[in-house]
Amino acid sequence: MSRRKSQDKQQHMGTFYIGTVVGALVGAIAAFWYAPQSGKDMRQDIQEKVEDVRDDIEHTAKDVRQRIEGESIEDTLEAAKAEARHYQETAKR
């Protein structure tokens, strides 16, 4: 798979993960909005859910960043190895 296609796929996966988390957040807020609870309990539940969603977003962002950086580093190393081989072959001539 070409580097461009790989990056596009990773970006789409990152967008998917972010959309999933945002959708979950909207669903949680809607559920709390219509759930019969006291104001104090609702605020506490919302705070806990927001913290959970924030943790999920941070985890997803870290995972996506590692995937992108990881492949970029691997691509860079492969390119460097190919360039080193080229210079070795040139130097032998």
pTM, two decimals, is 0.40
Per-residue model confidence as pLDDT tens digits over 67-91: 777 666 677 777 778 888 877 777 7
Q: Which residue has the higher pLDDT, 4 or 82?
A: 82
Mean pLDDT of 6-12: 67
Residue type, 4: R
pLDDT at 2: 65
**DSSP string for residues in 38-89:** -HHHHHHHHHHHHHHHHHHHHHHHHHHHHHHHHHHHHHHHHHHHHHHHHHHH
Residue 1 in this model has a pLDDT that exceeds 60? no
Per-residue model confidence as pLDDT tens digits over 11-70: 677 788 888 888 888 888 888 777 776 778 878 888 898 898 888 888 888 877 777 776
pLDDT at 5: 66
Q: Where are the domains of the chain?
A: 3-92
- With both helix axes pointing from N to C terminus, report the angle between 39-92 and 3-34 in degrees, rounded to the nearest 10: 180
